[in-house]
Amino acid sequence: MIEILSKDRCISCNQCVSVCPTNVFEAVPGDIPVIARQSDCQSCFMCELYCPTDALFVSPVAEARHHVEEHELAEKGLIGSYKADLGWGKGRQSTAAADGSYVIFQRMHASH
């Protein structure tokens, strides 16, 4: 479930609003988006993946909200960590070769 939208990191690009499949976020003219419908979050991580400034933290626990503090998550390197774990973003290494689905896809399209 979406837990953090960092006011300090957010640049109001509204990318999270655009990519969220369940309309959890709401754009606010002249300000950062708000988490308007948190209970609709399905923990798909799309917002965290597409956020250009790592301003979001999505908890892998979808069923219930957990009290988390932004500074604690930042100290532990957890804000934006999902994106990093997948190899997304500037300066990060791709992890596609370790993804079983990607390996099967590569085999299917390999030249004979």
Q: What pLDDT is attached to residue 95? A: 66
Q: What pLDDT is attached to residue 68? A: 81
Supply the pTM of this predicted model: 0.74
Closest CA to 5 of 79, 55, 47, 51: 55
Closest CA to 54 of 14, 89, 30: 89
Q: What pLDDT is attached to residue 92? A: 65
Q: What pLDDT is attached to residue 107? A: 80
The tens-digit pLDDT sequence of the chain (112 residues) is 999 999 999 999 999 999 999 999 999 999 999 999 999 999 999 999 999 999 999 988 767 666 788 899 889 888 888 887 877 776 666 666 677 776 777 787 776 5
Signed CA dihedral, 4, 48, 92, 84: sign only? positive
Calculate Rg over the CA atoms of the chain.
16
2-108: in CATH 3.90.550.10: no
